[in-house]
Amino acid sequence: MSKKCFLETDGYRVCFDLKGVQASKEHVDMVVEFTLDQHLGGIVVKSIPTFIAASDLHRLTVYFEEHIAQLWQNSDSESYTFVPMELGFQVQALGGEVHTEDDGEFSLRFLLNVGRSKDEGERVYVGGESVVTLRNIKRFIASLHEALTDLPRADGVRLS
């Protein structure tokens, strides 16, 4: 079973394709897809197949919720760069504005691990920076929560 969680910005879309939970572990197999908007060429880049700890997916939701809370206090607030243990992607929430619970926006930098360089074997990341609305980030957070609830482990037990 696969669960897709979409993060839409003003210039790109990220799709977390969560493939399922590894047997008796708290890790989710996934591929992340980064797509530029059509007017920017519509280029699609996929990550190498990887996995992520379910706890890191939960931490990602908390990361965004805490960033939104910080923006209420300071519109120039920048959060640390979120990088899961497996290094499949990097995301950084930057400054923006929050007007109401559902009205606001902030800049979001997203980098996707697409593999290793030929000579040195160093990780190579591709990505972008654009503005995301509170409405879209909250949809993404909700979809991650839903995925964590719905994805069964290989032994049939649900994550939450």
Tokens 């992520």 map to which residue? 52
On the CB side of 80, CA atoms within 13 Å amount to 7
Note the pLDDT tens digit of each residue in 11-32: 999 999 998 776 546 888 899 9
The helix/strand/coil state of 67 is helix
Q: Distance between CA 137 and CA 103 in Å, rounded? A: 11
Banded model confidence at residue 86, pLDDT cuts 50, 70, 90: confident
pTM (two decimals): 0.87
For residues 54-83, average pLDDT: 94
pLDDT the model gives residue 116 = 79
Q: Which CATH architecture has domain 3-150?
A: Roll (2.30)
The residue extents of the domains of the chain are: 3-150
Residue 67: count other Cβ atoms within 10 Å of its Cβ.
Answer: 23
